[in-house]
Amino acid sequence: MFPHPGNSSKIEDKSFPHKNTLQIDGRLISWNKPQLMGIVNLTPDSFFEGSRTEKSLEKVAALVKSHITNGASILDLGGYSSRPGASDVSLQEELDRVIPAVSWITATYPDILISIDTFRAKVAEEAIRSGAHIINDISAGDLDQDMISTVARLQVPYIAMHMKGNPQNMQKKSNYSDILIEILYYFAEKLEQFRKSGIKDVIIDPGFGFAKTLEQNYYLLRNLHQFQTLSLPILVGISRKSMISKALDVEAGRALNGTTALNMFALCHGANILRIHDVKEANETLKLFNTLYP
């Protein structure tokens, strides 16, 4: 049904109808205008120090309020750092980090959409039961054999990202014959698997920084529009990543300007969701994009 990864012909997936909307918690969410996803790292070791909240509810509360005030429509909560070489975290520790935050945000801001950033089915299910609405999986089901069936059973939107290996070894797995064709083929196969499992709403994430070199990241970004052949919303997460800081020879803390520049590029080439640390600046970028393309 799909060409081999070595074939450079166009890949187009027909497993899902083209969707400009998603059903989330009884609400119809439109992707006709891009959305902002604010990052809430509930970890002590995320790559960008300024985003770490650990277990401090006070820090979480301040960050959440700032994200919402500045224009985020989705909050992405994660309790397992996926930076290259990150330490493993036990299941219980991840649950202890994320579930109280999900419950608090649900009670305090009942209208905000919550995404749970995890590759573990148990964490995903507990978060959804506690009030989260979306599952964001860096492995697209590859790191937990129960994830896909869990998403199908819960009937919630699923963000599937491309990655090879795991956070501990992914940077050793950046060998590709044709990275664009291989990733498109990967998603085509995944979408067929999701459809057969009963998952209805999918968002795709090319996985910038995950098992990809600096040059490969920029090649994928230049060709972001090619992912529109899959006819699904596209999430781009490049905020303050090393693909920016290395190119500019700065630390992550000084990579905001570069992030803003590349976020505008991503919007112009088909991004439907920006996953970002700095919501205020991303919202300004989005406003200018919407002015350019009303």
Q: Given 122, 241, 280, 287, which residue is catalytic?
A: 241
Cα 19 to Cα 37, 86, 234, distances in angstroms: 19, 35, 11
Q: Given 97, 120, 240, 275, which residue is catalytic?
A: 275
Question: Is 91 in a helix, a strand, or coil?
Answer: helix
H helix or E strand, kind and range, residue 108: helix 91-108
Question: Is 131 in a helix, a strand, or coil?
Answer: coil
Give the burial string for 130-150 (b: 16+ CB within 10 Å, else e): bbbbbbbbbbbbbbbeebbeb
Among 74, 118, 97, smallest CA distance to 275 is for: 74
- Pair type for strands 113-117 and 74-78: parallel
Active site (annotated) includes residue 240:
no
Cα 54 to Cα 47, 77, 80, 97, 119, distances in angstroms: 13, 11, 11, 7, 19
* Catalytic residue positions, numbered: 241, 275
